[in-house]
Structure 1
């Protein structure tokens, strides 16, 4: 049976392989519907001339003729790939998406094997990229709508098998295949290896495959699998500057997101800023995606977005997301801040983008800094302006004023809950009224201790049940009196009186149940505030020292610059100065510096060197 369309197609493929024209080869090997009529005719000829069965051997022999003969080993992987391509066209049923995915994944696997050939593999690099994109598109589409293949999974029994083992999604399976192609490109030995080389041969596809693999890993939430990719790129890849701008921008975007998710905000900001600066000015959507992570990265480091930035076209809609957070940080209202970033409709977008937890956990310390700064400005001692030349006490703040401000914030939120139209309860406003646990952050009592207060109220009366349970303690048969003499207690009287008696004079914990303002003991809230301020001092976000007797925050060395600039330095400048000591970004391969090329600036000691020729 004649196959004129297939014959012409095979002849064209053979010429392209001979000319090593990978770009046109990829144009010929189309898969996505709707396909041109020539592919429909070729599929019909394949079904008639080479149906499933023994005839496929003959089809494989025809595909083997596509590879030019050479002195080296035959390129058998490409012949098998072409045979699988034709069988895909012959057998694919787009109505069965799961079967289509399996066929496409097998086809890509074989194409990656063909890519591994050291001589001819580079010819199929564009095809590998094309097939990877098609597979990624199908996998991500099915991941967003799993109901399309749920019935197929049940028919094949896969759902029951995956219940016992860790579930591997279609997107993750696709990422594993693309990772193999990335490894083939990265380990190509053509040209100069390492940071001194330029992309040649299959190495031109390093970042093409890496970007696609990272996209899939971010889609399925398997960021840990990207760690090895970045380590391999740092060790073996040519510098990123040798690759096209589109690949650089995409790679730095995913690298910045990965570093951001691992709380490495300084290198993440460098990568995201470089991605934003190199992105084309007309790529509005891409620049908006970069700003979605660059802005919160800067906020965490104390740098708020400017009005000029938020007015740009790529920042449309981002002001509504981030400006309320900046205002709450500046205000110093920690309860309102925590309430704003509570999981709900308002924060669903932040959670979906993967930036909610970082903003909530890392920015709250900035809220406390703002509150301490405001209290110091309005209620602290700033020094004697008349006697700056004389020796005097440094500026200081009594911490009981900060405690009063915290209790005032709690009272304000408690009063707002008294209204009839209260949308949501703010439990942190009740934290200062609890007898146990934190006085700042409300935590629900552990169920193991549920009813403790009621139990103590019951035990205030010496009931028969209480005596039966604690008789050996409350009314022992004998005891030692205050002079240390043994006494018998035959009647079984209560030795220490009723259980409600005052035992505070025997309390072993000096900070148990203190009364604010009495006996000079600090309150639990004061101890918590001391811990918060100590954390700010340790991080360099505040400067000074704490005194625990008559608790104060003292700010020495404020005569020249003033109390506020000295005690509360600029957050962004402080963090930037500390982190900029090492601007190395893991995963970003930079060209070697001139110093490194010259030997790293090492100093050689020639004091003991001998003249030439002297033994």
Structure 2
């Protein structure tokens, strides 16, 4: 049976392989519907001449083997004929109405194409085809991932078990990422040209960041960011510098790298990567620049640098001011209760932040800035700012911590009671944390409901029988230790008293042993100690007559000394090592000594006989 269309198609493929034209080869190997009439005619010929399961399929494989250049009667590129035969059978047998079957067939086709990519001599020819098939597979996988109901219905019709159903829904996109990662590894480990950071993109290495970006897109889609760690480590070790690749690849890669670092709480290197991606992005690519800003802005906010009005007025920033400016205002205000309310789980703003994956970072990392702003305001209005400049001696500026505690209790009162028929600060009118100051036990700043599992445990005089049976191992164990550390047996049902009338005051290491402050004071002092440890405040705390003192404030003043700029503090500390993990930079050029010719470059200079300066 004649197959004129297939014959011409194979002849065209043969010419492209001989000319090593990978781009046109990818144009030939189309799979996305709707296919043109020529492909429809070729599919009809395949079904007539090479039906599924017939012995004629062996003839089809032999025809595909003729496409590979032969050396001394044989060829080492055996994976390519198998791929071509699988491509034809894919066109012949695929049922696009069955999406899961299409996905399985397409994944198998891409696997075989990746095997063909691994050939050291001819593999680079199919690199554009691997990228094309990977994009189609990623599109199909992410589309199915958004339709779990459709997957469940198809699996039910196919008679698969519930366990298989769960596995498919969880790992569908991840399976696609694993296939794409294999192609990425083959591109990264290509030995053509100079390897490592001293080389430039040659051969299959031109596809390193194309495959890496697609794989990262899939990993972010399925939430498997840990799987990206090895990718970044491999790129750091073996990839040519990023600057040698096209701008589109650089911007996409730096965006995903910045998001990965952001998710791992490495905010300073994440800011560098995201800022570079934003700066290199084309000025007309507004949607891409907006996506970068969604993560660049919170990254800067966490480090104390708020977005400027000029940035928020740019076209790509449309709508972002409504999202981020309320958070900045709450941080400046120092209202920790309103801040928690704004980013609470039931807050209207929560859904957008959670969808973008930045909610927890903003909640957990920005609250310390809120407390710093509150302490700063209390110091401005109620602290001692030092003696006049004429006084050479005198105590350093300080703040009594009981004033900080009073301001905190005032905030709680403002959020717990209406003021003139309206609420002063609270957005909901009633915040649980506003009631935390009246907690008999536990935190005075975070409201926690009593754990009902331990209700009545303190009633050890006559506990309820059900309570005793539930906590028998705690209230009446088989053995117990006395105050001296000796073990004693205990008869069943006898309650153990855990209080001992021993005096340990001579061993007391608690600085508050003589005058113990309120529970809230201890929490507030711990917050200030954290700020001091992080360098966001400078000074020291005193336990007796609790105060926050700011020494060395005569030259610069109390505020700049005790409350330094947050962004300058963090960036100054982090900039000592501005290396961004996963970002390959060109090797730095070693500068030689002036007039020394080859004296630089790590050469050791012996100065044992050198004379002191000025000695003739």
Normalising by the smaller structure, the TM-score range is: 0.7 to 0.9
Range with greater deviation from structure 2 (378-387 or 395-404):
378-387
**Alpha carbons of 1:309 and 1:410: their partners in 2 closer, same or farther (altered >3 Å)?**
same
State the match for 1:274 in structure 2: 276
Aligned residue runs from structure 1 range 394-543, under 5 A? 394-416=396-418, 423=428, 425-451=430-456, 455=459, 520-543=515-538
**Alpha carbons of 1:575 and 1:601: their partners in 2 closer, same or farther (altered >3 Å)?**
farther
Range with greater deviation from structure 2 (70-79 or 22-31):
70-79
Q: What secondary structure is seen at the aligned counterpart in 2 of 1:385?
A: coil
Aligned residue runs from structure 1 range 330-349, under 5 A? 330-344=332-346, 345-349=348-352
Q: Distance in 2 between matches of 1:11 and 1:396?
A: 87
Aligned residues of 1:188 and 1:203 also touching (Cα < 8 A)? yes
Q: What secondary structure is seen at the aligned counterpart in 1 of 2:516?
A: coil
Aligned residues of 1:295 and 1:305 also touching (Cα < 8 A)? yes
Q: Distance in 2 between matches of 1:396 and 1:187?
A: 61
Aligned residues of 2:79 and 2:112 also touching (Cα < 8 A)? yes
Q: CA RMSD for the aligned pairs?
A: 3.0
Aligned residues of 1:417 and 1:425 also touching (Cα < 8 A)? no
Aligned residues of 2:398 and 2:549 also touching (Cα < 8 A)? yes
CA apart distance, 1:272: 0.3
CA apart distance, 1:161: 3.5
Aligned residues of 2:69 and 2:75 also touching (Cα < 8 A)? no
Aligned residues of 1:78 and 1:111 also touching (Cα < 8 A)? yes
Aligned residue runs from structure 1 range 370-385, under 5 A? 370-385=373-388
CA apart distance, 1:520: 4.5
Q: Which runs of 5+ in 2 are unaligned?
A: 463-498, 507-511, 593-597, 610-616
Q: What secondary structure is seen at the aligned counterpart in 2 of 1:110?
A: helix
**Alpha carbons of 1:163 and 1:579: their partners in 2 closer, same or farther (altered >3 Å)?**
same
1:363 and 2:363 matched: no
Aligned residues of 2:148 and 2:169 also touching (Cα < 8 A)? no
1:254 and 2:256 matched: yes
Q: Distance in 1 between matches of 2:361 and 2:63?
A: 58
Q: Distance in 1 between matches of 2:573 and 2:519?
A: 33
Cα shift readout 1:357-380 (whole Å, capped 9, x = no counterpart): 001000000000000000000000
CA apart distance, 1:147: 1.5
The number of aligned residues is 562
Range with greater deviation from structure 2 (270-279 or 592-601):
592-601
Q: What secondary structure is seen at the aligned counterpart in 2 of 1:528?
A: helix
**Alpha carbons of 1:277 and 1:115: their partners in 2 closer, same or farther (altered >3 Å)?**
same
CA apart distance, 1:446: 2.2
CA apart distance, 1:452: 6.2
Aligned residue runs from structure 1 range 27-426, under 5 A? 27-53=27-53, 54-71=55-72, 73-156=75-158, 158-162=160-164, 168-344=170-346, 345-385=348-388, 387-388=390-391, 390-416=392-418, 423=428, 425-426=430-431
Q: What secondary structure is seen at the aligned counterpart in 2 of 1:117?
A: coil
Cα shift readout 1:180-206 (whole Å, capped 9, x = no counterpart): 000000000000000000010000000
**Alpha carbons of 1:257 and 1:310: their partners in 2 closer, same or farther (altered >3 Å)?**
same
Q: Distance in 2 between matches of 1:508 and 1:425?
A: 43
Cα shift readout 1:152-183 (whole Å, capped 9, x = no counterpart): 22344554344897974210000000000000
Range with greater deviation from structure 2 (414-423 or 287-296):
414-423
1:564 and 2:559 matched: yes
Higher Cα Rg: structure 1 or 2?
1
TM, length-normalised to structure 2: 0.86
Cα shift readout 1:469-499 (whole Å, capped 9, x = no counterpart): xxxxxxxxxxxxxxxxxxxxxxxxxxxxxxx
Q: What secondary structure is seen at the aligned counterpart in 1 of 2:115?
A: helix
CA apart distance, 1:387: 3.5
Q: Distance in 2 between matches of 1:192 and 1:207?
A: 17
State the match for 2:569 in structure 1: 574
CA apart distance, 1:595: 2.0
CA apart distance, 1:447: 2.4
CA apart distance, 1:416: 3.9
**Alpha carbons of 1:165 and 1:608: their partners in 2 closer, same or farther (altered >3 Å)?**
farther
Range with greater deviation from structure 2 (297-306 or 417-426):
417-426
Q: Distance in 1 between matches of 2:219 and 2:397?
A: 53
Q: Distance in 2 between matches of 1:339 and 1:194?
A: 50
Q: Distance in 2 between matches of 1:599 and 1:133?
A: 52
CA apart distance, 1:602: 3.4
**Alpha carbons of 1:155 and 1:424: their partners in 2 closer, same or farther (altered >3 Å)?**
farther
Q: Distance in 2 between matches of 1:358 and 1:181?
A: 33
Q: Which runs of 5+ in 1 are unaligned?
A: 460-502, 511-515, 610-615
Aligned residues of 2:337 and 2:434 also touching (Cα < 8 A)? yes
Q: What secondary structure is seen at the aligned counterpart in 2 of 1:546?
A: strand
**Alpha carbons of 1:425 and 1:166: their partners in 2 closer, same or farther (altered >3 Å)?**
farther
Aligned residues of 2:197 and 2:586 also touching (Cα < 8 A)? yes
CA apart distance, 1:558: 0.7
